[in-house]
Structure 1
């Protein structure tokens, strides 16, 4: 068994885990921006439809947060499934 290949695959999985966490934090950050914008737009301006705009921003923030959480756990499950295949090579490739 080529141990360098196995190490490379493990390191690639660790990078994938970190990328998944980074993506979730980006969703969270964007959701918080929309939430803050939605809360503050009604307080800072005297727009006639300020409540409607506030509701739209808060709705978008909620959708982004739910999408980010769903994406995170979906990718986490996929990563954990691929983790158990490290070094699990077919014998037909080794016998060539």
Structure 2
């Protein structure tokens, strides 16, 4: 069976230029934000697990036990959704990284560091 796909209005971005330091740092910030978002999904999922277990354990409130089970199911959904989004964005970000570009940026960083050392010596 053929998979049904919706037409894309905007095509995928293709990087045709060499990556510069500013762009590399922006990609790093985006990667860190992606990790931070994954941790937020995990944290929320753990809180829902704790709340769900707590509601299930209450003896006097048998009529709201379903909320505890719902919280457990929702926590499972959140962790799966968070992992899915994390890996999807990570795959998109990896398209922009090239080994040659990373080596060139490291060299640029060393040159900038050496230039700043020279400028400090000139000030003294």
CA RMSD of aligned residues (A): 2.1
Flag structure 1 segments of 5+ consecutive residues without an equivalent. 88-96
Flag structure 2 segments of 5+ consecutive residues without an equivalent. 1-17, 102-124
Paired residue total: 83
Question: Deviation per CA, 1:66-90, whole angstroms, max 9, x where unpaired?
Answer: 0000000000000001224xx7xxx
Greater helix share, structure number: 1
Structure 1 residues 70-89: aligned runs within 5 Å: 70-84=84-98
Q: Which runs of 4+ in 1 moved over 3 A?
A: none
TM-score, L = length of structure 1: 0.76
Greater C-alpha Rg: 2
- Aligned match for 1:7, one of 8, 14, 21: 21
State the match for 1:25 in structure 2: 39
TM-score, L = length of structure 2: 0.60
Which structure exhibits the higher relative contact order, with contacts defined as CA atoms closer than 8 Å and separated by 6 or more residues? 1
